[in-house]
């Protein structure tokens, strides 16, 4: 089953081309990583998939509905997104339970009354993420990694088909990063489909089975993750000479 399709999607601002002719299909069972250097257009691409930005050209089909032909709010329920921008700008005084519940309204902060069902859903999500004890704690009091998990909870309120994680390990130390990545493994077991955006090969976990390589706004490759073992291709994408090695089913990179 096709969950998402991008057909020749391009984006430009004034005379600057940000994305050019991107094609991507996410099927049931796919777990994607989007890898590329800073400035390659990864976040713009994710914002298009999340319906936060409309492409300048091309077609976006989400759950069988073509963006621009349907109510964007109905389509948006199929896609959840967690980004650094959201974490940085979210009101720090908001209680954690309210942060999760704000996902029902796509708001930063909670300004509308919740139904009992919404309150219960937010609590259930916090319990599943082992964060229920923080329900009445201000968002700003949590660690950086805990905030990431809360924002994942916010993205899950509508049980989206696809969860976008836009460079979620930025700002995490090595220990916290590995703990966070292992928690994502548990999330995969619940049947979620993830698009994981990064510029670090070693964040691409074994459960990821598809990779899109992005450089200068163009897709260099989209397919099985075996491409990560090709040092020549990865070097070309990242703009430097990269070495690759495997350890415990993980792929790691280093600058030669």
What number of other Cβ atoms are within 10 A of residue 54's Cβ?
12
pLDDT, position 95: 96
Q: Are 100 and 126 in contact (CB under 8 A)?
A: yes
Whether 245 is covered by a domain: the verdict is: no
**Cα–Cα distance for residue pair 15/157, rounded to 1 Å:** 38
Cβ(31)–Cβ(194) below 8 Å: yes
Per-residue buried b or exposed e for 176-194, using 16+ beta carbons within 10 Å of the residue's own CB: bbeebbeebeebeeeebbb
The full DSSP string for 33-96 is EEE--TTSSHHHHHHHHTTSS--SEEEEEETTEETTSS-HHHHHTTEEEE-HHHHHHS-TTSBH
Residue 206 lies in a domain: no
Q: Are strands 32-35 and 210-215 parallel, antiparallel or unpaired?
A: parallel
Give a yes or no: residue 18 inside a domain. no
Six-digit token string for 91: 């009101």
Helix axes 144-155, 174-188, angle to 10 degrees: 20
Residue 49 lies in a domain: no
Can you give the residue range of the structural domain that contains 112?
A: 89-159
- Quote the distance between the C-alpha of residue 144 and its chain's center: 17
Question: Where does residue 234 rank: exposed (0-12), middle (13-18), buried (19+ CB within 10 A)?
Answer: buried
Q: How far apart are CA 126 and CA 31, in angstroms?
A: 23
User: 101 lies in a domain?
Assistant: yes
CA pair distance 58, 56, nearest whole angstrom: 7
Instruction: Return the pLDDT at 36.
Output: 96
CB 69 within 8 Å of CB 144: no
Locate 57 and state its tokens. Answer: 């050209």
3-state secondary structure of 18: strand
How long, in residues, is the chain? 256
| Per-position pLDDT tens, the chain of length 256 | 899 999 999 999 888 999 999 999 999 999 999 999 999 999 999 999 999 999 999 999 999 999 989 898 888 889 999 988 889 999 999 999 999 999 998 889 888 889 999 999 999 999 988 999 999 999 999 998 899 999 999 999 998 999 999 999 988 899 989 989 988 888 888 888 999 999 999 999 999 999 999 999 999 999 999 999 999 999 999 999 999 999 989 999 999 9
2 within domain boundaries: no
Structural domain count of the chain: 1
Judge whether 60 lies within some domain: no
Any domain includes 167: no
């Amino acid at each position: 089953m096709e969950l998402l399709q991008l057909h020749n999607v391009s984006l430009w601002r004034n005379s600057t081309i940000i994305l050019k002719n991107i094609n991507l299909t996410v099927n049931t069972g796919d777990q994607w990583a989007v890898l590329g250097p800073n400035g390659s257009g990864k976040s713009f691409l994710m914002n298009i998939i999340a319906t936060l930005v409309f492409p300048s050209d091309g077609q976006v089909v989400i759950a069988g509905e073509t963006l621009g032909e349907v109510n964007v709010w109905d389509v948006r329920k199929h896609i959840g997104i967690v980004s650094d921008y959201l974490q940085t700008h979210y009101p720090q005084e908001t209680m954690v339970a309210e942060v999760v519940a704000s996902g029902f309204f796509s708001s930063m902060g909670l300004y509308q009354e919740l139904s009992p069902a919404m309150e219960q859903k937010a609590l259930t999500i916090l319990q599943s993420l082992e964060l229920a004890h923080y329900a009445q704690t201000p968002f700003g009091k949590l660690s950086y990694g805990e905030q990431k998990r809360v924002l994942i909870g916010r993205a899950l309120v509508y049980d989206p088909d696809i969860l976008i994680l836009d460079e979620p390990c930025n700002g995490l130390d090595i220990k916290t990063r590995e703990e966070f990545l292992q928690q994502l493994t548990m999330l995969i077991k619940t049947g979620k489909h993830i698009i994981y955006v990064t510029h670090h090969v070693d964040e691409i976990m074994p459960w990821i089975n598809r990779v899109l390589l992005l450089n200068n706004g163009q897709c260099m490759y989209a397919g099985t993750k075996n491409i990560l073992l090709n040092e020549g291709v990865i070097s070309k994408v990242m703009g430097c000479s990269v070495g690759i090695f495997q350890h415990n089913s993980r792929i790691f990179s280093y600058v030669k």
